[in-house]
Structure 1
Amino acid sequence: MAASDPFTWIITGATRGFGRAIAEVALGRGDSIVAAVRRPAAMQDLVDRHPHSLEVVEFDARDVGGVPRVVDAAAARFGRVDVLVNNAGRGYVGAAEEVGEDQLRESLALHLFVPAALVRAVMPTMRAQGAGTIVQMSSQGGRFAFPGVGAYCAGKFALEGWSEALAGEVAPFGIRVMLVEPSRFRTAFNRKDVLAIADVDDTYRDALAAVRAGLVGADGAQEGDPEKAAAIIVKLAHGDEVPLRLPLGAEAVQRIGASYRAGLTSLAQWADVARGSDFAEAVVPVDRPI
């Protein structure tokens, strides 16, 4: 299948934000979409405009049990899956002591377990096709962590590590993996009724006050344009090459770059100490696969 041919996409969390924008751009270029969403009624306007190329499936992106229904819908309606976009996500705000086990598990389910299950479910189809693209919507918070959003970053860090390994495993079958790492974009992510904000413990009330206020206060003032981001993602998915990691937004480029540089500085500072833990006669092979 040529990159210029119409693709079939599965997109989670397509009712708004990045998911909605990607769906609209892809539909506009003639692609077909399976939108996996919690509120199918919110997609009705798009269904009315694209009745022959949009299938909406009710789906809770925290529930692995719903994955087969989504993939089966794509096979039944369109017969293939060219692009999977694991987009559904949510911010979790609170110190490590404030965020309980249930919220931490929910974040990991939403940002790792369900995306992983969807990847496993589409992999046989993509292997049979000899082509496919997995788009994992991560975050700049998937490359470095902020105080007060550890539960969210834990899910994104896990997604990044899992997906980096995945990319090497599936490349021989013609399947690509792209981790998208946005900064702040003008989606609903920062809305107070969307963010999961833990009960505030007095211990961290003052220490994290700026973090909480900054996240909520960013709503409607984010620098990133979701439509521009969607256009980039759709173009890359149809192109010949995708990066393993794609920072989106000037802030993401700046902050991720600063994180890399700080990591290299720290590595150099402690390199001799680290090397001192090997056996004296040890020689580390340069081509060891792991």
Structure 2
Amino acid sequence: MARRWLITGCSSGLGWALARAAAAAGDRVLATARRPETLAELRDHFPETVETCALDVRDPAACAAAVRLAEQRFGGVDVLVNNAGYGVLGAVEELTDEEVEAQLQTLLLGPWRMTRLVLPLMRAQRSGHLLMVSSTAGRMGMVGLGAYCAAKFALEGMTETLALETAGSGVRITLLEAGGYATHYGASLVDAATRLPEYRSAVDQMGGLIRGEVPSDFKLSLPEEFAEAVLALVRDAAEPPLRFPLGAGAWEMITGAAERDRAARTELAERLGVALPTG
């Protein structure tokens, strides 16, 4: 049976690839973007299965309108993918309240709002899959990405809580913890208005990595691989994992961060001469 998708942030990259793959698989897709003209090719290629609309997830009225459109055209939503996002590049000391708030509006409050709007539909039909596009930055800090990491950490906390609250409802919940993908994400990276010389070297190095200056021995994953993995997860996983690291370096970065924490804890215990709890 064809599934009904609502995907945010489909103008390019992961959202575009996923919308295209779902439509190619015969599912119905409401693909959204702040600039809906970027979706014309997708809609024209799949005129029978793809609907498009303008959606800025920071706008409550636009979010409600998108969900209403999915109900009108498809009769409901089976899969919500909260994918829309961008990053602001700047050290914690450099970022203004407004820059931090903008990140939280897009990366946390937007997905929270969309989830709140779609969840009653899924609970009523006792089925559905909520997918939050997170990142390895939702598990570890990264230089120059303090606001981005804060938003993704918060998204992970909200999603884990949601999974506990909806247990037994028939609604599946998954965090897609994305690693390195060959997308145009770097083009949307916004530099903080304030630039302090104390942080320039480290922050600019991170900016270069995000904008494509990756080491020659690091192979980025393709958006099409992301789409294939997500389709398989939605189609085949009756009990999907809460966290699903995917993409180049994702698993290695997450496990590496955990191992560094373990090593630091062991070193501290040895230096203090105490036995720390193991639980």
TM-score by length of structure 1 reads: 0.87
Looking at structure 2, the residues matched to 249 and 217 of structure 1 have their Cα atoms a distance apart, in angstroms, of 15
Distance 1:235 1:264, change over 3 A: same
Q: Give the unaligned 5+ runs of structure 1.
A: 276-285
Tell me, yes or no, if the aligned pair for 1:64 and 1:113 is still in contact at 8 Å: no
Report the counterpart of residue 221 of structure 2 in structure 1: 224
Query: What SS does structure 1 have at the residue aligned with 2:121?
Result: helix
Looking at structure 2, the residues matched to 274 and 100 of structure 1 have their Cα atoms a distance apart, in angstroms, of 39
TM-score by length of structure 2 reads: 0.90
- The 5 A counterparts of 1:105-116 are 105-116=101-112
Looking at structure 1, the residues matched to 46 and 120 of structure 2 have their Cα atoms a distance apart, in angstroms, of 28
Deviation (angstroms), 1:141: 0.6
Query: What SS does structure 1 have at the residue aligned with 2:167?
Result: helix
Correspondence 1:119 to 2:107: no
| CA offsets 1:242-277 (integer angstroms, 9 cap, x no match) | 2111111241111101112223344556686877xx
Query: What SS does structure 2 have at the residue aligned with 1:135?
Result: strand
Of 49, 59, 62, the match for 2:55: 59
Looking at structure 1, the residues matched to 231 and 169 of structure 2 have their Cα atoms a distance apart, in angstroms, of 21
Tell me, yes or no, if the aligned pair for 1:63 and 1:109 is still in contact at 8 Å: no
Tell me, yes or no, if the aligned pair for 1:190 and 1:218 is still in contact at 8 Å: no
Aligned amino acid, residue 253 of structure 1:
W
Query: What SS does structure 2 have at the residue aligned with 1:23?
Result: helix
Of 192, 202, 209, the match for 1:214: 209
Distance 1:7 1:139, change over 3 A: same
Q: Give the unaligned 5+ runs of structure 2.
A: none
Report the counterpart of residue 135 of structure 1 in structure 2: 131
Distance 1:203 1:230, change over 3 A: same
Report the counterpart of residue 283 of structure 1 in structure 2: none
Looking at structure 2, the residues matched to 65 and 266 of structure 1 have their Cα atoms a distance apart, in angstroms, of 47
Aligned amino acid, residue 214 of structure 1:
L
Looking at structure 2, the residues matched to 147 and 262 of structure 1 have their Cα atoms a distance apart, in angstroms, of 17
Q: Please, which moves more after superposition, 265-274 or 115-124?
A: 265-274
Deviation (angstroms), 1:126: 0.2
Query: What SS does structure 2 have at the residue aligned with 1:172?
Result: coil
Query: What SS does structure 2 have at the residue aligned with 1:178?
Result: strand
Report the counterpart of residue 251 of structure 2 in structure 1: 253
Give the number of equivalent residue pairs. Answer: 270
C-alpha root-mean-square deviation of aligned residues, in Å? Answer: 2.1
Q: Please, which moves more after superposition, 166-175 or 44-53?
A: 44-53
Report the counterpart of residue 195 of structure 1 in structure 2: 189
Tell me, yes or no, if the aligned pair for 1:87 and 1:137 is still in contact at 8 Å: yes
